[in-house]
Chain A
Amino acid sequence: MSLDKSEVQKIAWLAKLAIDDQDISTYSNELSNILGLVETMNSVDTNGISPIAHPLDLTARLRPDQVTETNHRDQFQKNAPLIDDGCYLVPKVIE
């Protein structure tokens, strides 16, 4: 299975990655190779084996419903390029 140009562009768009047109064929080859590996795995007979949701054969430990965190807003916001009134600022995302 191989991916065409538009599929590569769509994956890049979904992942919010900017890619150069000239690199598309390289990505297409590399991604197609990964899909090839998946196809190889698909050919294994897995009838009678129940699917797993996690590679570790363990189940989740649950946490009691307690507030354990305190306010560290000032520290966190030191990383933010723009803040105002306690809010993180981003370019306007609505028309």
Chain B
Amino acid sequence: MEWETVIGLEIHAQLATKSKIFSGAATTYGAEPNTQACAVDLGLPGVLPVINKEVISKAIKFGLAIEAEIPPKSVFARKNYFYPDLPKGYQISQFELPIVSTGHIDIQLEDGSTKRVGVTRAHLEEDAGKSMHEGFGGFTGIDLNRAGTPLLEIVSEPDMRNAKEAVAYMKKIHSLVRYLEICDGNMQEGSFRCDANVSVRPKGQNEFGTRAELKNINSFRFVEQAINIEVERQIDILEDGGKVIQETRLYDPNKNETRSMRSKEEANDYRYFPDPDLLPVEIENSFIEEIRTQLPELPDAKKHRFINEFKLSEYDSTVLTAQKEMSDYFEACVKAADGEAKLSSNWITGELAAALNKENKDIADSPVSAEMLGGMVKRIKDDTISGKIAKQVFEAMWNGEGDSDSIIESKGLKQVTDTGAIEKLVDDVIANSPSQVELYQAAPDDKKGKLIGYFVGQIMKQSQGKANPKQVNELLSKKLKS
């Protein structure tokens, strides 16, 4: 039987605020355990939560970016469950009346087409603390620094049909929250994580199959692997005549398998009710409009501008705009290169991306700044150096040997454009290669282009790559004709 996969994602994005969602404790990552957990975060008797305004405006910012409706009233609710890293015994979340209602984003599929994925809602909630099960001699250690950190939970429609689409969606949301500067997107530190609801059904069937929820996946690669392995598991069960159980499962990247989390099964009775400690939040239109004016240029708009303004291909523009830092780098580079966009794009997506990848560096930590790379591109453009020599210059810049002009100067990499000097090189090579000259002159016109390569190669070798290739070619053709 042919099966169809149905996937919906719940993404938790930690909102980048200085203080917590309901208290004035700091949110800095990596502090000493429990030094950033105040009485409110600990759920001590008599405390009251007070909502952080920045959390509300960051959530609205996201809502506007996905063209969602922002309801005029937003209500917080208690989600009740028992776990030691949740000191109050409930998590303050939203149930009815979330801050952001239905919206959508467009994702790019591998075949180049675009698919619209619905976002059901996005709601605010507080994060729980952290439980550490190792290193405490048979006990579990609880660090409540993370308790009360603001989260935006972004819930998608079950619109995705394979793991690659799910990854594309997750990457797009990741790119969006970073463009909006509402979340740092750091997946290693858990600022951006994802649960995947996965089910399969016979192709053509309308009703959904029973789903499993894969919890807390914190990398793009793991999302793809976890979904694929879970789909395989479910199809195996169904083809053996079994039934998929609705449950929460954990992905183990080491074994590449998903495992049932039976311990949490019975706890799925959250008894939501409006939190009596918190009044409803009224969202005035003027507040929404004020936030709208602060929206930056978003990835899709930027991509189209790059295509129009810089005459880049759709592919290059997509690559350059996926990450805000990358697009900023590109624009700064073009500026430094006196407007040379295509070459800048090639160097950024080629040499620079490869070098960053190799050393596992972010573009923000690139040893070659946009201004330095732009300066080098300018020198390719004005024929000071050839594209081939530029690779040497790039490498030297990467190794901290200075900017392109000083490297070109100190290493003597300047292209030879003096016609007299080039002519001498050309004459020498022609004089030393009588048999190749004969071959060239006897060859039909359509073969000549290939044969001239030998002479060019010799001349470049003599000049250590510094002769201007265009001039060499021109002179050669002229001299070999006679």
Interface assignment of B315: CB less than 8 Å from any CB of chain A? no
Q: Which residues of A contact B281 (CB under 8 A)?
A: 59-60, 62
Q: Which residues of A contact B144 (CB under 8 A)?
A: 88
Q: Which residues of B contact A94 (CB under 8 A)?
A: 131, 133, 140, 263
Quick one: closest A residue to B271, CB to CB? Answer: A14
- B266 → chain A closest CB, angstroms: 8
Q: Which residues of B contact A95 (CB under 8 A)?
A: 263
Query: Is A86 within 8 A of B139, CB to CB?
Result: no
A92–B84 Cα distance when bound, in Å, is 10
A59–B279 Cα distance when bound, in Å, is 5
Quick one: closest B residue to A86, CB to CB? Answer: B33
A63–B20 Cα distance when bound, in Å, is 11
A18–B19 Cα distance when bound, in Å, is 38
Query: Is A93 within 8 A of B83, CB to CB?
Result: yes
Interface assignment of A90: CB less than 8 Å from any CB of chain B? yes
> Which of A21-29, A30-38, A39-47, A71-79 sits within the interface?
A71-79
A77–B44 Cα distance when bound, in Å, is 12
Q: Which one of A58, A64, A82 lies within 8 Å of B139 (CB-CB)? A: A82
A56–B53 Cα distance when bound, in Å, is 21
Q: Which residues of B contact A89 (CB under 8 A)?
A: 136, 139-142
Q: Which residues of A contact B80 (CB under 8 A)?
A: 14
* In the complex, per-residue mask of B121-159: 1 if CB is within 8 Å of any chain A CB, else 0: 000000000011100111111111000000000000000
Interface assignment of A20: CB less than 8 Å from any CB of chain B? no
Q: What interface size band does chain B fall in?
A: 35 or more
Query: Is A88 within 8 A of B18, CB to CB?
Result: no
Query: Is B75 within 8 A of A67, CB to CB?
Result: no
Query: Is B263 within 8 A of A65, CB to CB?
Result: no
Query: Is B139 within 8 A of A60, CB to CB?
Result: no
- A63 → chain B closest CB, angstroms: 5
Interface assignment of B274: CB less than 8 Å from any CB of chain A? yes
Interface assignment of B102: CB less than 8 Å from any CB of chain A? no
Q: Which residues of B contact A6 (CB under 8 A)?
A: none
Q: Which residues of A contact B73 (CB under 8 A)?
A: 53, 59
A5–B54 Cα distance when bound, in Å, is 47
Given known A-B contacts A59-B281, A67-B24, A86-B32, A92 and B38 have beta carbons under 8 A apart? no
Given known A-B contacts A53-B75, A76-B34, A93-B131, A87 and B136 have beta carbons under 8 A apart? yes
A28–B281 Cα distance when bound, in Å, is 38
**Residue of B18, B25, B42, B139 with most partner-chain A CB within 10 A:** B139
Interface assignment of B282: CB less than 8 Å from any CB of chain A? yes
- List CB contacts (< 8 Å) of B99-135 with chain A: 131-133
Given known A-B contacts A84-B136, A93-B84, A94-B133, A71 and B36 have beta carbons under 8 A apart? yes
A12–B114 Cα distance when bound, in Å, is 51
A60–B37 Cα distance when bound, in Å, is 23
Q: Which residues of A contact B132 (CB under 8 A)?
A: 87
Q: Which residues of B contact A63 (CB under 8 A)?
A: 24, 50-53
Q: Which residues of A contact B35 (CB under 8 A)?
A: 71, 73, 86
Q: Which one of B54, B143, B274, B278 lies within 8 Å of A87 (CB-CB)? A: B143
Query: Is A84 within 8 A of B141, CB to CB?
Result: yes
Q: Which one of B18, B37, B271, B282 lies within 8 Å of A66 (CB-CB)? A: B18
Q: Which residues of B contact A54 (CB under 8 A)?
A: 274, 276, 278-280
Q: Which one of A60, A64, A91 lies within 8 Å of B279 (CB-CB)? A: A60
Interface assignment of B458: CB less than 8 Å from any CB of chain A? no
* In the complex, per-residue mask of B22-46: 1 if CB is within 8 Å of any chain A CB, else 0: 0111100000111111110010100
A60–B99 Cα distance when bound, in Å, is 14
A14–B96 Cα distance when bound, in Å, is 22
Quick one: closest A residue to B281, CB to CB? Answer: A60
Quick one: closest B residue to A77, CB to CB? Answer: B34
Query: Is A69 within 8 A of B24, CB to CB?
Result: yes
Query: Is B34 within 8 A of A73, CB to CB?
Result: yes
Query: Is B142 within 8 A of A90, CB to CB?
Result: yes
Q: Which residues of B contact A90 (CB under 8 A)?
A: 84, 139-140, 142
Query: Is A92 within 8 A of B140, CB to CB?
Result: yes
Quick one: closest A residue to B81, CB to CB? Answer: A14
Q: Which residues of B contact A72 (CB under 8 A)?
A: 38-39
Quick one: closest B residue to A71, CB to CB? Answer: B35
Query: Is B97 within 8 A of A53, CB to CB?
Result: yes
Q: Which residues of B contact A73 (CB under 8 A)?
A: 32, 34-35, 37
Query: Is B50 within 8 A of A84, CB to CB?
Result: no
Q: Which residues of A contact B207 (CB under 8 A)?
A: none
A65–B27 Cα distance when bound, in Å, is 11
A12–B402 Cα distance when bound, in Å, is 71
Interface assignment of B17: CB less than 8 Å from any CB of chain A? yes
Q: Which residues of B contact A93 (CB under 8 A)?
A: 83-84, 131, 133, 140
A-B contact pairs, 30 of them (CB 8 A): A14-B271, A16-B89, A53-B73, A53-B280, A54-B280, A56-B279, A59-B73, A59-B280, A60-B279, A60-B280, A61-B50, A62-B51, A65-B18, A66-B18, A67-B25, A69-B19, A69-B24, A69-B36, A73-B34, A84-B141, A86-B33, A86-B34, A86-B35, A86-B143, A88-B34, A90-B139, A90-B142, A93-B83, A93-B131, A93-B140
Q: Given contact pairs A60-B280, A64-B53, A64-B54, enumerate 11 new A-B contacts (beta carbons under 8 Å).
A: A54-B279, A59-B281, A62-B56, A69-B38, A73-B32, A73-B37, A84-B139, A87-B143, A89-B140, A89-B142, A90-B142
The 3 closest A-B pairs by CB, nearest first: A68-B24, A87-B141, A65-B54
